Structure 1
């Protein structure tokens, strides 16, 4: 009976030690996610439309930033962008509010093709599944006949 108690205590210690190691790995990964590698700002102009984009690239490859879309005859869209690069294409999700109405948020998928210092906002078919919008799988995203081509600009804090 005494040996059974010691055996249970040994397994409990081993289990607790493995949990502790797993926590330290998670803390290291979380610190890497927070470390910003670069900050880039872009601006796109088309007729009366102006789009401002600021993206932060993190050590783990994740992209997060802000985008403002001032499109003629529409309320201003302000929100956050999050995603990651797959090759030369940034696939991101844009979560934004429209106009001064901040109680309702919208979320749209976006794809940006990086060519040199330029980001080209692609145009693709979007479908909604269970309330979430995403690009239609298997349908190409057009980066040639587009309105918005972002050029690199100096970052200015507002």
Structure 2
């Protein structure tokens, strides 16, 4: 049996700086774009969109900084990780929101994303944080956009 822990209410991360601090101090930390833990944790699995195959955990994206990032800006790392999937509410469902979680990685999904079990929600990510992430990404030198690139 896999444990799930869905709080009645969750805190909300309200700034990119607050998200950056969490990434620097809490591991492992993941972000998931969905209707939220109350919905997800009732059946803590995801489905492959192409085949419909049930996956052995919730698909999420890691926020932990990779060693190759070196001493570069943790704020820029946080912004990019958030920004990469910021298109999901527009293309899936306007109710989709990002939320942070801890969990145990049990495999990889078809897009090589971590599949996580024993999920412990950490908090919602406010829309203002997404706007701040967009601003941070726009300040970078290279052209970039969310993964749903035209």
Determine which structure has greater relative contact order: mean sequence separation of CA pairs < 8 Å that are 6+ residues apart, divided by chain length. Answer: 2
Same fold by TM-score, threshold 0.5 exceeded? no
Query: Where is the strand percentage greater, Structure 1 or Structure 2?
Result: 1
Q: Which has the higher helix share?
A: 2
What TM-score bracket applies, with the shorter chain setting the length?
A: under 0.3
| TM-score normalised according to structure 1 size | 0.25
Rg larger in 1 or in 2?
A: 1
